[in-house]
Amino acid sequence: MKITIRFIFVALLITSNIFSAGAFLNKYDSIDNHNEFETLMKKIRQDFAQNPHIEEALKKYNEKDGSFTDIDYSSIQRTKWPPMTHIERLYDFAFAYTTPKNRYYKDKLLFDKIQKGLEYWHERNPWCHNWWYNQIAEPQCLGILLIQMRTGEQRLPAVLENKLLKRIKEDGGHPSKWTGANRTDIALHWIYRSCLSENHADLKIAIESAYSPIVYTTKEGFQCDNSYFQHGVQLYIGGYGDEILKGVTQVAMYTKGTQYAIPETKLAIISKFMRETYYPTIRGQYMLFDVLGRGVSRPGITKKTNTILFAKRMIELDPAHGEEFKAIIKRLKGEQPANYALQPKHTHYFRGDYTLHVRPDYTFDVRMVSNRTMRCEYGNGENLKTYFMSDGCTNIVVDGNEYANIFPVWNWTRIPGVTAPQMNKIPMAQSSWQTRGTSTFAGGVSDSIYGASAYSYRDDYADINTKAKKAWFFFDEEVVCLGAGISSTSPEDIFTTVNQSLLSQKEIIFFSGGKTSHVEQNTSKYIEADWILHNKVGYLFPEKGNIFVSNQTQTGNWYDINHTASRQPQYADIFTVSFNHGKKPSNANYAYIVVPNKQTTKEMRKYQKSKNIEILSNTEEQQIVRNKKLGIWQMIFYKAGRFKNKDISVEVNEGCALMIKDKGGNKADVHIADPKQAQSTIEIKIDMYQKSSKTKKITCDFRDSGIYSGESKK
């Protein structure tokens, strides 16, 4: 993911002197072909308008040569590249010089500083070992700066401007060599340069390149399941997803009402992704941490109020869905609660090995990895403890901020949902950028409202030597989480973590032996609990087990997970609940039920008494759950087999994920998916004894299904 640079996001800052890109559209709804470049530049200026304070930067300006005294221009570090600060400051100088309300408006001395600073930059020619600065950050910043300076009392000398435009063109690269968000970002500075040089041919290439990533692909970019990949087949709904939405909506606003307007088919793809995937991974103001890629290790990254701008743009670009985007904005601004205008939705992203379950009361997701996808990356010195995050990681959120900035103090062997050895040193994947998973069985079945997902986990890398069959069953009030066949030869204890989140101000309550108790502050212990309640989420343990619960202040620092961040100690009170399967377990299992939006012990007792959930099987071969209230059976078969009880008999000839919904009157809906994505034919025999003695036979042909081989069928 790209490093956040202040100048790129200047339009996102909430100040009285910054204008939304939509504020000027009515004035410039059409482009006069004779003057299209100037009209585009007017929109670009309005998009980035600001009234900066530059006094501190002026104190560090070197009058002799146009440099800044505090910048190491020889640095080639890959993140937070120091020389970039030079361009950012000149960028601010340019807006100060050209903004009427600024005290330096039309200031001759400031103009001289800008000119000399640009001359110094060109002659010094700093270069970074991270291509992104050379081909995206610097060219974008220079392009906007030059466009703004065209409105100044004095114009930069044509010779200097042309030298800088040449540098942008030669160093900035060609968008066709890149994919996804990277292509769109490079296309942006092509647009800036084309307008400044009045180059029709390059402008056409730039705009076509900006829109060309908006297609469904099997490579980097938008996938047919509505997920998003970058850096190979790696899930990146946030991070690079942010970048492509920022760039595409930005260009679409510039070109709205012109010959270069975004095609309707491409706008539909963007809108669908934003409404059905991107924004649903944001609960309230916070994005689920496991869709952010290596950016999860950056301070403040989960808070996504800056994405309000994308939704505002879409109100203009896609008015047919304007009300949806308005509701999104209200949640992001905090004007409405996290559950405002949310509808029940369940999606298994069969291309991305990712499951997202949204309810008005909560959001729950699962991130898996298979031999078809990549593990979460850790490049450029970021996300250095991420190894287990791809192995069945779960978010459990009601308000959305349950994990905000928790990551420097996290125990990264106890990521929620994950079964892992408690290693002192967490291994790093073989490759920092693209390391494939190994599971051949990772997927889920869905009818868009309910679903079940499964992950056959086995990892023999770096002495982890652990395996488990893990499954999640999603309903309205609850998510049932099962694990079976847990075995390991690792010398460390094997934990399955139910949750590790920020501790709320309210206490941790647990129910055991017919009475409720509390987990006191700064304590941790093993208990045999029927249930635990903390921060609006209940956790039921139908089989109890050796349950570890903790209420502790944990410490760490951002640097340990991100070498571009601070070493300053961080402290946070943390709630943890886990199963300890011990050392070298053999065929161990676990079962827990997550019941969000429970506030009191009375509510928990009432739910427990309902006995709505039946766990019918939890073995290495099959994991099966029934929701009696909904009349739904959800079944994971890891291989051919049969399940039978007094109510139903199901036999399959291949491993699969299966959901049977009792519709009454001797009718049932059946949904099936193949987590192996083997493109085989799956045969099912179903006997529902209480309805009929007649066996129902179903043949589901996944042959020749190609990239849709993991999709659910009815």
Q: For 221, phi and psi rounded to 5 degrees?
A: 130, -155
- Rounded-to-integer distance, Cα 169 and Cα 166, Å: 5
Contacts of 533 (CB under 8 A, 6+ apart): 508, 509, 510, 539, 598, 600, 601, 604
Specify whether the backbone of 156 is left (phi greater than 0), alpha (psi in -120 to 50) or beta: beta
Whether the CA torsion 378, 233, 228, 412 is positive or negative: it is negative
Q: Nearest Cα to 164, choosing from 188, 196, 191?
A: 196
Cα(255)–Cα(30) distance, rounded to whole angstroms? 9
Q: What is the CA radius of gyration of the chain?
A: 28
Contact, 496 vs 466, CB < 8 A?
no
Task: Single out the residue of 128, 206, 140, 188 nearest to residue 8, CA to CA.
Answer: 140
Cβ of 602: how many Cβ atoms within 10 Å? 9
CB distance 456 to 477 below 8 Å: no
d(CA 142, CA 149): 10
Instruction: Dig out the tokens for 79 from the structure.
Output: 């993140």
SS3 labels along 528-591: CCCEEEECCEEEECCCCCCEEEEEEEEEECHHHCECCCCCCCEEEEEEEEEEEEEECCCCEEEE
Q: Taken in order 429, 430, 431, 436, is the CA torsion positive or negative?
A: negative
Angle ∠(606,612,617) on CA atoms, nearest 5: 135
Q: Work out the burial of residue 637: count CB atoms within 10 Å of its CB; fewer than 13 is exposed, 13-18 middle, 19 or more buried.
A: buried
Phi, psi of 683 (to 5 degrees): -110, 135
Helix, strand, coil shares of the chain, percent, nearest 5, are 30, 30, 40
Residue with tokens 């504020």: 23
CA 209/CA 193 separation, integer angstroms: 14
Phi, psi angle pair for 37, to nearest 5°:
-65, -45
The whole-angstrom separation of Cα 246 and Cα 478 is 35
Query: Any idea which residues carry the catalytic annotation?
Result: 231, 240, 294
Sequential DSSP letters for 223-289:
-TTS-EE-SSS-B-TTTHHHHHHHHHHHHHHHHTTSTTPPPHHHHHHHHHHIIIIIGGGEETTEE-G
CB 65 within 8 A of CB 120: yes
| Number of residues assigned to the chain | 714
Q: What are phi and psi of 242, to 5 degrees?
A: -55, -45
**Of 156, 79, 80, nearest in space to 121 by CA:** 156
Question: Which residues fall within 8 angstroms of residue 515, CB to CB, at 6 or more apart?
Answer: none
